[in-house]
Amino acid sequence: MAAAGSVDETAAMEVPETRYALSGDTNIAYQVIGEGPLDLVFIPSLTHHVELVWENPPQARFSAG
């Protein structure tokens, strides 16, 4: 059995599709997680890699909510 927050636990989560929005000449990567009446935009930092968040167990748990 894997310890809580281990890579094995995170690997079981389904990683959402990365989509892109064009703003001027810049492509902005984003992912949609869950559904509901409100939208929440989470922007952790300018250099954040939207796909690598799923490899960090604490961030993956936060993102999967």
SS3 55: helix
What type of residue is 32? V
Which pLDDT tens digit goes with each residue over 3-60? 555 455 545 568 889 999 999 999 988 888 888 999 888 777 767 788 888 888 887 7
Q: Is 31 within 8 Å of 17 (Cβ atoms)?
A: yes
Domain locations in the chain?
7-64
What is the rounded CA–CA span in Å between residue 65 and residue 61? 6
H or E stretch at 60: helix 57-64
Give the chain's largest Cα–Cα span. Answer: 48
pLDDT of residue 24: 96
pTM, two decimal places: 0.62
